[in-house]
Amino acid sequence: MTDDTLKTVLEAHPVGIVWCRNGETRWMNAVARRIWEGDAHGILRRCVEDATREPRVPREAETLNVAAQSYAPGTYRTESDVVVMLVPLGSETGAFSGIDRLHQSALDFEEIFRHSFDGIFVADGAGYTLMVNEGCERNYDLTAAQMIGRHVSEFEKAGWIRPVVAAQVARTGQRISTTQHTRTGKTILVTGIPLVDAAGKVRKVIINSRDTTELLQLQDALAQTREKLRRADEENEALRLQNLQVLDAVVRSEPMKRVAELAARVANVDATVLITGQSGVGKDVIANLIHRRGRRASGPFIKINCGALPHDLLESELFGYEAGAFTGAQRGGKSGLIELADHGTLFLDEIGDMPLDLQVKLLQVLQDRTIVRLGGTRTVSVDVRVIAATNRDLIQMVEARTFRDDLFYRLNVVPIPVPPLAERNDDIAPLVLHFMAEFNERYGCRRTVSEQAMALLLAHDWPGNVRELRNVIERLVVTCESDVVDADFLDGVLPREVLDAKPNSFRQRVERFERRLIEDAMRKAGNTREAARLLGLGQSSVVRKLRRGS
On whether the 116-211 domain is CATH 2.20.28.90, my answer is no
- 3-class DSSP assignment, residue 1: coil
Q: Is the bond leading into 14 cis (omega within 30 degrees of zero)?
A: no
Query: Among 382, 387, 390, which Cα is nearest to 365's?
Result: 382
Q: What is the pLDDT of residue 266?
A: 92
Measure the CA angle with vertex 114, ends 112 and 115; round to 5°: 70
pTM: 0.50
The 3-state secondary structure of 487-545 reads: HHHHECCECHHHHCCCHHHHHHHHHHHHHHHHHHHHHHHCCHHHHHHHHCCCHHHHHHH
Phi, psi of 515 (to 5 degrees): -65, -40
CA distance 163 to 156: 7
Distance (Å, rounded) from C-alpha 368 to C-alpha 494?
Answer: 50
Q: Tally the C-alpha atoms within 13 A of residue 378's C-alpha that lie toward its C-beta.
A: 8
The CA distances from residue 302 to 287, 349, 354, 506, in Å, are: 11, 10, 17, 44
Residue 271 and residue 287 in contact, taking contact as beta carbons nearer than 8 Å: no
CATH 1.10.569.10 fits 422-549, yes or no: no
CATH of domain 3-106: 3.30.450
User: What CATH number was assigned to the domain covering residues 247-419?
Assistant: 3.40.50.300
Helix (H, G, I), strand (E, B) or coil at 484: strand
Indicate the helix (H) or strand (E) that contains 276: strand 273-276
Residue ranges of the chain that CATH labels 3.40.50.300 = 247-419
Distance (Å, whole) CA 254 – CA 323: 52
Q: What is the DSSP string of 57-108?
A: ---TTS-EEETTEEEEEEEEE-SSEEEEEEEETTS--HHHHHHHHHHHHHHH
Bridge partner list, 132 = 121
Among residues 11, 63, 53, the alpha carbon closest in space to that of 32 is found at 11
Q: Report CA-CA distances (Å) from 486 to 252, 447, 506.
A: 24, 10, 14
Q: Where in the chain is the domain with CATH 3.30.450.20?
A: 116-211
- How many Cα atoms sit within 13 Å of 454 on the Cβ side? 27
As a whole number of angstroms, the distance between CA 131 and CA 260 comes to 67
Burial class (CB in 10 A: 0-12, 13-18, 19+), 159: exposed
Burial call 384-417: b when 16+ CB within 10 Å, e when fewer:
bbbbbbbbbebeebbeeeebbeebbebbeebebe
Average pLDDT by stretches of 10, the chain with 550 residues: 65 80 79 71 67 57 65 73 75 49 68 82 90 89 90 90 90 90 89 88 90 76 78 61 49 85 89 94 91 90 87 82 63 80 92 90 89 83 93 93 93 94 87 90 90 86 91 92 87 79 57 74 80 78 70
pLDDT at res. 247: 43
CB atoms within 10 A of CB 342: 16
Which residues are CB-neighbours of 518 under 8 A, at least 6 positions away? 531, 535, 542, 545, 546
CA nearest to 247, candidates 274, 199, 200, 282:
282
The alpha helices in 383-427, defined as continuous H runs, are 394-399, 405-411
Looking at residue 403, its pLDDT comes to 93
